[in-house]
Structure 1
Amino acid sequence: MSKAVIFDLDGTLIDSAPDIRAAANSTLAALGLAPLSLVEITSFIGNGFPHLVRLVMAARGIPTQKEDIIQARMFEHYMAHPATFSRPYPGVLECLHTLHSRGYRLGLCTNKPYAPAIEILEALKLSPIFDVVIGGDTLDVKKPHPAPLLAAIRELETEALLFVGDSEVDAATAEAAKVPFALFTEGYRKTAVHELRHSVRFDRFGELADIVAQRDTAD
């Protein structure tokens, strides 16, 4: 029976921070507020779009009662240009195609809302590779709750060999779902590598297909 490898999106497969920053700064500019740096925006990514919006608002002193308006405006900006600057990390496309050609089922489990996740996958020509996509609004809960990852596994109808992610949220999700975790060390994590529980780690996607094959053989 074929096994599955499930991936996070932002900070794992793609560097999406520049497009998120553009949406945030367009929203702030309309309010006459100063832009946020790429470092600031990157530090906000990981817990879903509503949480990111709240951090953007806090960083510029926007009253919390305006959250619905700011979230709608920022989402509109982001949906208009979700993949202008976002790019896959080096080796991602080759790795995904290799895994797909070897018969692995591939899933995506992200805290990004489903609609922009699909837009990005299509823009970067990644959508045909994935058998299932679970977005941050697919269920009533987000990662690090295990439900989104477990939902992806159920839809793939096979055993999950690895969950591949880059962050504290991903590590906690894998642990809660009892799925082996592969940590991509070059993403958006804020914690030292040794402080994140993981089964394996890698810093180049050229390594991942062989890691998957080795773990599959070992099982």
Structure 2
Amino acid sequence: MRTVVFDLDGTLIDSAPDIQAAANRMLEGEGLPPLDLLTITSFIGNGLPKLVERVMRASGIDPDRHDELTKVTLEFYNQASSDLTRPYPNMIAALERLSNAGCAMGVCTNKPEAPARDILRALDMERFFRVVIGGDSLGVKKPDPAPLLRAFDALAEPNPLYVGDSEIDAETAERAGVPFALFTEGYRKAAIEELTHAFRFDDFAKLPDFALR
């Protein structure tokens, strides 16, 4: 038996296009030009409030308006959070195989819990996960290890493995003392060699063989 917890954005799903659309709708409302996908993707990883902070800085917006514009951006995202978001190739088949093998699975993300559950439901993925810990589920976010440890505690099964795509995920796993599997096709900024990991993969078809061995 293996207990597997996954990051969400950049790991299970490619959500950058919907996040870009929400951020650019906010900017449009401010009379400002849009930001390209590469720029928005580079801002993903520390939760929506931090992303909005980075968008505001890049666009020259008064930082005192952060709370207001975070709320606006979240509303836009919630309105269309699955329009452009897609699961990564072979990911659903990998989850099916892990589930059929008896793995207990969960999600630990810096996305707020309600939007995380909404997107999992919209993509018919919620059925795989016993627990979803979001960026607002506790008083802290990744890379603090507490959210990840809460997910594993809730699953209450042996042999933990955390699967993610970024520096934040690698640090979270290291601080939690659990093995880390790195999905190399997500939103990572650092070189692969800089991240502590037990396994790396570029195709979800490769993950079950490692997780189930």
Report the alpha carbon displacement of residue 61 of structure 1 after superposing the two structures with TM: 0.5
Distance in 2 between the 1:132 and 1:176 partners?
A: 21
Distance in 2 between the 1:160 and 1:38 partners?
A: 37
Q: Where in structure 1 do 4 or more consecutive aligned residues deviate above 4 Å? A: none
1:6 maps onto 2:5 in alignment: yes
1:27-176 map, 5 Å: 27-176=26-175
3-state DSSP of counterpart to 1:128: helix
Report the alpha carbon displacement of residue 158 of structure 1 after superposing the two structures with TM: 1.3
TM-score by length of 1: 0.96
Distance in 2 between the 1:204 and 1:211 partners?
A: 12
Distance in 1 between the 2:198 and 2:27 partners?
A: 40
Does structure 2 retain, via aligned residues, the 8 Å contact 1:153–1:160?
A: no
TM-score by length of 2: 0.99
Q: Which runs of 5+ in 1 are unaligned?
A: 215-219
3-state DSSP of counterpart to 2:212: helix
Cα RMSD (Å) of the superposition? 0.7
Percent of paired sites with the same residue: 55
1:140-219 map, 5 Å: 140-214=139-213
Does structure 1 retain, via aligned residues, the 8 Å contact 2:52–2:70?
A: yes
Does structure 2 retain, via aligned residues, the 8 Å contact 1:6–1:106?
A: yes
1:21 maps onto 2:20 in alignment: yes
How many residues were matched structurally? 213
Q: Deviations over 1:145-203 (max 9, x none)?
A: 00000000110011243100000000000000000000001110000101111011111
Q: Which runs of 5+ in 2 are unaligned?
A: none
Report the alpha carbon displacement of residue 127 of structure 1 after superposing the two structures with TM: 0.4
